[in-house]
Chains A and B, each alone.
Chain A
Amino acid sequence: MARLIDTLAGRFGIIVFMIHVLLLPALYVGVDRIVTRSHEEMFVTEIRTYARVLADEFELGTAMESEPRTRALLENVLLSGEGVFAELVAGSEVLRSELDPQLRAGHFPGEDFAFGAGGDDIYFLSIPVVREEREAVLRIGFDERPVNAQIQRARTRILTSLGIFFVVSLGLAVYLGRRLARPLVELKQASRRVASGDMSTNLSTDSQISELRELTSDLETMRVALVDVGRRLREEMRERETTEKERTRLVDKLRQRQRLETVGTLAGGIAHEFNNILLPIQLYTELAIEELDEANPTRADLTRVLEGARRARRIIGDILAFSRHPEGDVFAPVAVATIAAEVAHVYEKLGKSGVNVVRAFESGCPMAIGEPTMLHQVLMNLCSNACQAMAGMTGQLLIGVRAASSAAARDAGLPPGAYVEVFVADEGRGMDEAIKARIFEPFFTTAPIGQGTGLGLSVVHGMVESMGGVVLVESVPGIGTTFRVFLRQAADVATQAAK
């Protein structure tokens, strides 16, 4: 019920209803009075006129001369239809007509001066009659009931009209309300669409009502502003995401750097102590072995000790290489192809079983910025790693040098510029994603215990980075692995420096 009252049509309806409820009764009463009065007055006037005519008849005619003629005239009153009483009183003589048997009154009660007076539904009237100096009084009575019936009928008609009027105007009010509300409903639906995210709908209205047009226009302005705000927000969010991703990437990189630096610093510090400890172990064991006969079985044990010391030396050496600070290292143009050829030569001579060394040097390959000893160590370590991966298998150890394509450099995450690429590829066991992710980690190794220090590739990584390059690894388990080292081209660096 409450919802009905809150609609425009409902409100209109209620207002009209209230107005009608207040006014219609008054209207009815007013109209009723007018109609009633007019009927009554007409009746009275008619009766009086009739009475006057009748009186004239008596006065001018010969009816009064004989009783039958008088009686006959009086009968006319009754015959007129509504007359119910007529008598002529002259002195003590009363001539009376037949009364309507339905009437209760048997005599003249007195003149009515108004319709409905006397309480008997009869309108009595008396008129003096004078004829040839004889004075008489004519008294007649007319039935009021037909007039009352007329008045009732008129009342009914009025009521019906008012009722129809009430219903029609109520209906009109509701209809009007709904018509007026339609543009509002349309506006509401459009706004709902906008609110639920459909920003593409324009808000507009066909209505000519100025307030509605203004409202619609303002809402449309708001919608446009919202769309704009939404767009800018999304843009900003995208930018923030990108920035955040970049920031995370840089933070991760920095953290990793710091971790490596810490390890390196620690390692470097400990290496000194270890070397001081290892030397006596080395020398005393060698001396002890000399003391023993060739046949003495203890020699074999002590030899194992020596091997341990030697391996420790290698590990410390790798740690130092890893933790090295390139102070005073001068990076200069390096003939990468030459160094790569040297390394290839070394491994050919080494003649590791199952390993077939293949060269892929692009002719006219430019010089790169780096440090020859470092680059040498890098390539040696990569080849060592490749041979390890192919242990027990036959395969190709591919060493190559070429000018790096800009696409390759970009994919490697390098800033724009010219680079030289040196790669070492093997056909060994390959690595899965988990191992690939950790391959440059210090001490991470997939080699069995006792073989490999796990530092070779971390040394490679550190050295390549210190030369301003990057090293990438690609691998397919079961197929092979390729390490790609990108170094800045010497010419490019010179050009950059000149800028």
Chain B
Amino acid sequence: MTRVLIVDDEPDVRDSVGKLLSKAGYDVRVVGTAAAGLESFQKEGADLVITDVIMPEQNGVDLIRALRVVGGAAPIIAISGGGNFGPTGYAPGSITTTAFLAAAQKVGADAVLTKPFESKELLDLVTDLLLRAGSSRP
């Protein structure tokens, strides 16, 4: 079974995405922090990673960078809630998630998706990426 790792600090988000992919037939792992995500990837590996970009402590961009460093070639989807986010909360000049998503792509994400998306959108994307990754596998 294809393993999918889901990283998001929002429980409802990771659970719903997890259930969706489970029902679609994937072997799903769900974690709530970037650190846990890295650990899971190293221990159990994954064929595809879906990670939120904006998370407390360590954000998704760092995670993606770390995953590439440890040699993962698995496709990574970066997801985000959109809007503005910053250290002081809601304030002018706070950094847009657009910037984060752009950064995520720079460090190695294969695709970005903004929440909320429809089941079909995600499933199609996952299938698409795995197909491409699969064809590049020996």
Whether A272 lies near B82 (C-beta < 8 A) is: yes
Is B116's CB under 8 angstroms from A282's CB?
Answer: yes
The distance in angstroms between the C-alpha atoms of A290 and B20, with both chains bound, is 11
A266-B84 Cα distance, complex, nearest whole Å: 9
A411 at the interface (CB under 8 A from B): no
Q: Mark A260-276, 1 if CB is under 8 A from B, else 0.
A: 01000110111111111
B12 touches A271 (CB 8 A): no
* Contact across chains for B89 and A269 when beta carbons are under 8 A apart: yes
Can you list, as one digit per residue, whether each of B72-87 has a CB less than 8 Å from chain A (1) or not (0)?
Answer: 0000000001111100
How far in angstroms is the closest Cβ of chain B from A292? 14
Bound Cα distance A280, B117 (Å): 10
CB contacts (< 8 Å) of B84 on chain A: these are 265, 268-269, 271-272, 323, 325
> What's the Cα separation between A283 and B89 when bound, in Å?
27
- Is A286 among interface residues, defined by CB-CB distance under 8 A? yes
| Chain B interface category by residue count | 20 to 34
Contacts of A324 in B (CB 8 A): 96
Interface set, chain A 295-322, CB cutoff 8 A to B: 309, 313, 316-317, 320
A273 engages B81 (CB within 8 Å):
yes
* Chain A residue with Cβ nearest B119: A286
Which of B10, B17, B23, B83 is the one whose CB lies under 8 Å from A271? Answer: B83
Bound-state Cα–Cα, A276 to B114, Å = 10
Most buried by B among A273, A277, A279, A327: A279
Residues in B with CB closer than 8 Å to A320 are 82-83
* Cα distance A268–B115 in the bound complex, in angstroms: 14
Query: Quick check: is A341 within 8 A (CB to CB) of the other chain?
Result: no
**CB pair A279 B115 closer than 8 Å:** yes
Bound together, the chains give a CA A316 to CA B117 distance in angstroms of: 13
A and B contact pairs by CB, cutoff 8 A, 11 listed: A265-B94, A268-B84, A268-B94, A269-B84, A269-B90, A269-B94, A273-B81, A279-B16, A280-B16, A283-B16, A325-B92
Chain A interface residues toward B at CB < 8 A:
261, 265-266, 268-284, 286-287, 290, 309, 313, 316-317, 320, 323-325, 327-328
Which residue numbers of B lie inside 8 Å of A, CB to CB?
10, 12-13, 15-17, 19-20, 23, 54, 81-85, 89-94, 96-97, 99, 114-119
The 6 nearest A-B residue pairs measured at CB: A269-B90, A272-B83, A271-B83, A275-B81, A280-B12, A268-B84
